[in-house]
Amino acid sequence: MIVDIHTHVFRPDTDFGPKLLADMKRCNIDPTIWRGLGEKHLESTKAADVAIVFGLQASATDWNIPNDIVAAHVALAPHRLLFFASIDPALPDFMEELEKCHRQDGAVGVKMSPLYQDVHPGDPRCYQIYRYCEKHGLPILFHAGTSFVSGTPLDYSRPVHFDKVAVDFPELRMVLAHLGHPWEGETIAVIRRHANVYADLSALYYRPWQFYNSMQLLVEYRTHEKVLFGSDFPFTTTADSINGVRNINHILANSGLPSIPQEVTEGIIHRNTLELLGLPDPGK
């Protein structure tokens, strides 16, 4: 079974605020390319058996994607999509939103983004979310690593900060997205120490040299079994991400550098993510 653990849906014309649009303009990102994203998501994610879907609530950086919209999208293909609720600890009603998404809207996990939300992972407000998720068996996928957004401390996204969270919540299943790039070494150190902490490799294959070095570190530390497949749709597609992982050794040419074993890459693509994270199989 292939599970794409990292896909987004949003409406650029209504869900992006002025600050985010200014950041996108600064980085030459045209948000209009994502119009009609819902249909594209439904088509792209067919390359996986199951896809996890979320939006982003981050008032500090002007991402305003309603959880209701994401839940409604998941309901279009409930046999293969799973809903993760995005919870912003900076909003006054964040715990009410979490409970509503979990109890009424069918959320089976949570997405948090400390860098985007301008809240340190060790903040007491986050600890309220962690306690709830640990109690109810909801895994949390964290954005870890860099981003183009401005005005918030990049330090909040360093993988090492999730080490203390894992110590305090040993039963909480956590996923650090993007291997925490450019701090892949920190991510490896954290996932190696904690039984219930994993990483995903979304949005890495199109930086081939960085991706190769990250995968080589995983092999050397023997932590590749703690890595899950994800695409980061719509910034890439599920199928392109699968191909990118499988073609990782193309960069080596005749360099003599060690290749990444095929059993490692295929193991990541076919990882039993649902079982590891305690998630339901929507097909059943």
User: Using CA atoms, how far apart are residues 190 and 199, in angstroms rounded to an integer?
Assistant: 9
User: Using CA atoms, how far apart are residues 124 and 122, in angstroms rounded to an integer?
Assistant: 6
Give the model's pLDDT for residue 244: 97
Q: Which of 129, 139, 218 is nearest to 171 (CA)?
A: 139
Give the model's pLDDT for residue 47: 98
What distance lies between CA 159 and its chain's CA centroid? 13
2: helix, strand or coil: coil
Longest Cα pair distance anywhere in the chain, in angstroms? Answer: 57
- Whole-number mean pLDDT of the chain? 97
Tell me, what amino acid is at 61?
Answer: T
Q: Which of 175, 243, 234, 245 is nearest to 211 (CA)?
A: 245
Confidence label for 34 from pLDDT (cuts 50, 70 and 90): very high
71 contacts 83 by C-beta, under 8 angstroms: yes
CATH 3.50.50.60 fits 3-277, yes or no: no
Residue 263 has pLDDT above 90, yes or no: yes
107 contacts 84 by C-beta, under 8 angstroms: yes
177 contacts 230 by C-beta, under 8 angstroms: yes
Residue 64 has pLDDT above 90, yes or no: yes
What percentage of the chain exceeds 70 in pLDDT? 100
Kindly report whether the global pTM for this prediction surpasses the value 0.95. yes
Structure tokens at 41: 């998501």
Confidence label for 270 from pLDDT (cuts 50, 70 and 90): very high
Q: For the segment 22-32, what is each residue's pLDDT rounded down to a tens digit?
A: 999 999 999 99
Give the model's pLDDT for residue 108: 98
User: Using CA atoms, how far apart are residues 141 and 174, in angstroms rounded to an integer?
Assistant: 6
Mean pLDDT computed over 89-113: 98
Q: Where are the domains of the chain?
A: 3-277
User: Using CA atoms, how far apart are residues 143 and 40, in angstroms rounded to an integer?
Assistant: 23
Q: For the segment 160-202, what is each residue's pLDDT rounded down to a tens digit?
A: 999 999 999 999 999 999 999 999 999 999 999 999 999 999 9
User: Using CA atoms, how far apart are residues 258 and 2, in angstroms rounded to an integer?
Assistant: 26
Give the model's pLDDT for residue 24: 96
CA-to-CA separations, 262 to 224, 245, 259, in angstroms, rounded: 12, 10, 9
Mean pLDDT computed over 118-136: 98
Mean pLDDT computed over 71-85: 98
Backbone angles phi, psi at 141, to 5 degrees: -100, 120
Give the model's pLDDT for residue 254: 85
Mean pLDDT computed over 86-103: 98
Q: Per this entry, what is the length of the chain?
A: 284
Give the model's pLDDT for residue 233: 98
- The H-or-E segment that residue 161 falls in is helix 161-168
Mean pLDDT computed over 201-230: 97
Strand positions, DSSP E, 113-211:
140-142, 174-176, 197-200
User: Using CA atoms, how far apart are residues 13 and 32, in angstroms rounded to an integer?
Assistant: 8
For the chain, what is the radius of gyration of the CA atoms? 18
Confidence label for 147 from pLDDT (cuts 50, 70 and 90): very high
